[in-house]
A and B are shown apart, each in its own frame.
Chain A
C-alpha cells in the first residue's frame, strides 16, 4: 500500500488508463502545461504528449461537445472541468447530447466519456463558485454520477468510469485533493453502483458522499463519545444508487440521517429519503433528517459560510434527534 493524495490517485488512474488504452485522452483548461489547476494531471503532458493531453481554451460547451463527438467515434475522452461550476456552461451538451444519444439513436451510438472535476464549496469562493452539481446531473436518466471521498475510491472508481460505455459525471473535491489515503500498488477497480460502509455501527445510519464523508465521520466520532454508534455509508455512486446498501443498514439501525454538501431542495438527499420511506417505512423509528447547506446561495463572508455549511456538530445534532437523545 502507498499513502497518496487524492489528486495523485486521480492522476494515477488517468495515467494507467491512458497507458492501457490508446483511445483515452484528457482535455480541459490548464490540464497540460499548467499540470492542472489543482494539479490532478501533474506530469501527464510530459508523459503522453500534446496529442493526448490537450489544453483547451475557456470554452466548456465546445470541449464538452468535442468530447461527446469523439466518444461517439469510439474514443474515450476524459473532460476536466476546472470546477463543476463551469460545467453549467456545458449543461446542454451533457443533458441533451451525452445523456440522450444512446437512447435517441436506438443504441447505434454510445458516449463513453468522463466529465470530472471538483464539486461543491471550497473556502470563501462566493455564490457562483461554491455549488454542488449532483442534483442537476443525478436527475438525468442516461448519466452515471459518482462522487468520491478517498484516494482508494477515487482511483478505483475513476478507472471504472473511464472503461464504462456510458457518460459518467465524476465529482471530486477541491478541499480534499490533498487528503491522503492508502492505495494498493497492484491494479484494482471498484464497481460503479456500490456503496461503501466507511464506519460500521448499529444505532443510526448516516448516508453521505463526496465532501460530506469526512464531516459524517466526524459526526459519528462525536456521537460515539455520547454512546451512539453510527454507521456511515458512503454512496460513492449517486446514480445508479446502491439502495440495497442503504436499506440493509436502515433495517438494522431503524434511523437515518443524510449528510451532504449541497442544497436541500430537490437534491440527492431527497431521493435517498424517498427510497427509505418507500421501502423501509415500517423499519423507521424516527423521521429521516437531512444535514446539508442551508437553502441559500453561498455567501462569501467566512462567518456566514460556516453557518451555511454542514458541520460535524450539525451532523451530531441530527444523530441525537433521530435517536431521541438531546
Chain B
C-alpha cells in the first residue's frame, strides 16, 4: 500500500510565535546581562560593518546576522574545548560571540593584513581556529559533509569533541547536505546539524524551496534525532541545543535541529529585501530575542535605563575601536597573495 507523505507544504511558519513572558524563558539577572551584552556586541559590530560598507570601506558580499544573534550566543556557552563550529557565510555573529577580536573581524571585512584570515577571505570566509570557528563556507551546503568529517575524526580518535554545523534553510535542498547527513547518520557521528531557518534563502520563501515544511522530518531518513523550535531567547536555545549536543557527545548520535529565526536585514547589503512586507518584519521584531532580553532586564531584574545605556555605550566604544583598528591596519603585503597555496615542506 502506498502511504501518504509526511505532510505537504501548506503555509509556512511565516508568523512568529508570540513568546510567553513567563520567567521560565529567561535566566538569572547575570545570565541576562551577559547574553544581552553579547547579542548587542554582535549587533553593534554588524551595524558598524554596514556603515563601513555604505562608506565604501568594505566590499564584496556582506551578509548580516542581525536578528539571529541569540543562536551564536547560546552556542558559545555550550562549547567545550574540543568542539568545533562549522558555519556558512553569515558568520560574523559566531566569531564575535566565540571571542574573536572585533578588530580582527572588522579588519577582515576591510581586507586588511590584521584580519581574521589576513584579509584573504572577507566576510564570507571567516575562520578562527583558536576560537573554535572552523569556517566560513560560501558555497551553499558544501560544508555539511566537511563538518561530518570533523565529527568522524573525533570519533576515530576517541575524542569527546562534538561538531556543530550550521546551515541555512536554503542549504537543505542541495546534494552535499544529504550526502553529509547520510554519512553522519550511517556512521553515528557526534555532530549536531543546526538549520537556521530564517524563512528565506535570498528572496525565496521556504514555500518555494522546500517541499515539506518541517525540515526535521528529514531526520528520520538519516537516523538522526531531531529538535525544532523558534528562537525567542538565549535560555531556551541553550537548553534545547545543549540537550542535542549531549546526545551527540554522550551517545554519538547525530541530531538535526531546526531553529526558526528571522534576519531583519536583506540577504546581503545589496539586497533591498522587497520580497517581505513591512508588517512581516515588524511582527518578527516584536519577538527579537535581544529586545526581549532587554525587556526582561528592565522588568524582571530592575535594570535601569541608565544601566542599559551604559552597556550600550561600552559596546559601541568597543566597536568604534574595532573600526579604528581596521581603518589604521595595513593592507596585506603584496607577497601575501602567494602564501598558503600549498603547504611548504
5 A-B pairs closest in CB distance? A301-B111, A57-B173, A300-B122, A301-B119, A34-B203
Which residues of chain A are near B334, meaning CB under 8 Å?
303-304, 307
Give 4 A-B pairs besides A60-B174, A89-B174, A304-B332 with Cβ atoms closer than 8 angstroms. Answer: A62-B173, A62-B174, A127-B120, A304-B334
Complex contact A34–B139 (CB within 8 A): no
CA distance A89 to B177 in the complex (A): 12
Complex contact A296–B341 (CB within 8 A): yes
Which residues of chain A are near B170, meaning CB under 8 Å?
57-58
Which residues of chain B are near A125, meaning CB under 8 Å?
60-61, 122, 124
Whether B141 is near chain A, meaning CB under 8 Å from some CB there, is: yes
Complex contact A59–B337 (CB within 8 A): no
- Find residues 277-315 in chain A having any chain B CB closer than 8 Å to their own CB: 294, 296-297, 299-304, 307-308
Closest partner residue, chain B, to A90 (CB atom): B175
CA distance A300 to B59 in the complex (A): 9
- Find residues 190-219 in chain B having any chain A CB closer than 8 Å to their own CB: 201-204, 208-210
Which residues of chain B are near A60, meaning CB under 8 Å?
174
Whether A203 is near chain B, meaning CB under 8 Å from some CB there, is: no
CA distance A307 to B125 in the complex (A): 20
Closest partner residue, chain A, to B124 (CB atom): A126
Smallest CB separation, A22 vs chain B (Å)? 24
With A29-B202, A33-B203, A58-B170 as known contacts, state yes or no: A300 contacts B175, CB within 8 Å: no
Chain B interfacial positions (CB closer than 8 Å to A): 59-61, 111-113, 119-122, 124-125, 138-142, 170-171, 173-176, 201-204, 208-210, 275, 331-332, 334, 336-338, 341
Which residues of chain A are near B208, meaning CB under 8 Å?
33, 55, 57
Closest partner residue, chain A, to B172 (CB atom): A57
Q: A192-229 CB contact bits vs B (8 Å, 1 = yes)?
A: 00000000000000000000000000000000000000
Complex contact B332–A299 (CB within 8 A): yes
Complex contact B122–A58 (CB within 8 A): no
Provide 8 A-B residue pairs closer than 8 Å at the C-beta atoms, listed in order of the A residue.
A57-B173, A57-B208, A62-B174, A123-B60, A300-B121, A302-B331, A303-B332, A304-B331
Whether A30 is near chain B, meaning CB under 8 Å from some CB there, is: yes
Complex contact A304–B336 (CB within 8 A): yes
Which residues of chain A are near B60, meaning CB under 8 Å?
123-126, 129, 300
Contact of A30 among B111, B176, B203 (CB under 8 A): B203
Whether A95 is near chain B, meaning CB under 8 Å from some CB there, is: no
Smallest CB separation, B20 vs chain A (Å)? 34
With A62-B173, A300-B120 as known contacts, state yes or no: A128 contacts B337, CB within 8 Å: no
Whether A88 is near chain B, meaning CB under 8 Å from some CB there, is: yes
CA distance A303 to B119 in the complex (A): 10
Smallest CB separation, B102 vs chain A (Å)? 18
Interface centre among A62, A299, A301 (most CB of B within 10 A): A301
Complex contact B171–A58 (CB within 8 A): yes
CA distance A124 to B62 in the complex (A): 11
Smallest CB separation, B27 vs chain A (Å)? 36
Contact of A29 among B111, B122, B176, B204 (CB under 8 A): B204
With A125-B60, A307-B334 as known contacts, state yes or no: A300 contacts B201, CB within 8 Å: no
CA distance A102 to B150 in the complex (A): 41
Complex contact B119–A30 (CB within 8 A): no
Complex contact A299–B175 (CB within 8 A): no
Which residues of chain A are near B204, meaning CB under 8 Å?
29-30, 33-34, 55, 57
CA distance A277 to B78 in the complex (A): 63
Whether A66 is near chain B, meaning CB under 8 Å from some CB there, is: no
Contact of A296 among B138, B203, B337 (CB under 8 A): B337
CA distance A293 to B29 in the complex (A): 56
Whether A48 is near chain B, meaning CB under 8 Å from some CB there, is: no
Which residues of chain A are near B112, meaning CB under 8 Å?
301
Complex contact B175–A59 (CB within 8 A): yes
Whether A85 is near chain B, meaning CB under 8 Å from some CB there, is: yes
Smallest CB separation, B338 vs chain A (Å)? 6
Complex contact A34–B275 (CB within 8 A): yes
Closest partner residue, chain B, to A82 (CB atom): B202
Smallest CB separation, B125 vs chain A (Å)? 5
CA distance A34 to B140 in the complex (A): 19
Complex contact A307–B61 (CB within 8 A): no
Complex contact A304–B138 (CB within 8 A): no
- Find residues 112-151 in chain A having any chain B CB closer than 8 Å to their own CB: 123-129
Interface centre among A30, A85, A125, A300 (most CB of B within 10 A): A300
Complex contact B173–A299 (CB within 8 A): no
Closest partner residue, chain B, to A38 (CB atom): B270
Complex contact A58–B174 (CB within 8 A): yes
Whether A37 is near chain B, meaning CB under 8 Å from some CB there, is: yes
CA distance A118 to B329 in the complex (A): 33
Complex contact B201–A302 (CB within 8 A): no
Complex contact A59–B336 (CB within 8 A): no
CA distance A235 to B71 in the complex (A): 51
Which residues of chain B are near A33, meaning CB under 8 Å?
203-204, 208, 275
Smallest CB separation, A175 vs chain B (Å)? 13
CA distance A60 to B209 in the complex (A): 13
Whether A160 is near chain B, meaning CB under 8 Å from some CB there, is: no
Complex contact B173–A301 (CB within 8 A): no
CA distance A129 to B255 in the complex (A): 31
CA distance A128 to B138 in the complex (A): 7
Complex contact A88–B202 (CB within 8 A): no
Closest partner residue, chain B, to A65 (CB atom): B175
With A61-B175, A123-B59 as known contacts, state yes or no: A85 contacts B119, CB within 8 Å: no
CA distance A326 to B48 in the complex (A): 47
- Find residues 156-208 in chain A having any chain B CB closer than 8 Å to their own CB: none
Contact of B201 among A57, A304, A307 (CB under 8 A): A57
With A62-B175, A124-B59 as known contacts, state yes or no: A299 contacts B201, CB within 8 Å: no
Which residues of chain A are near B61, meaning CB under 8 Å?
125, 129
CA distance A125 to B208 in the complex (A): 27
Smallest CB separation, B197 vs chain A (Å)? 14
Which residues of chain B are near A294, meaning CB under 8 Å?
337
CA distance A60 to B141 in the complex (A): 11
Closest partner residue, chain A, to B206 (CB atom): A57
Which residues of chain A are near B139, meaning CB under 8 Å?
85-86, 88-89, 128
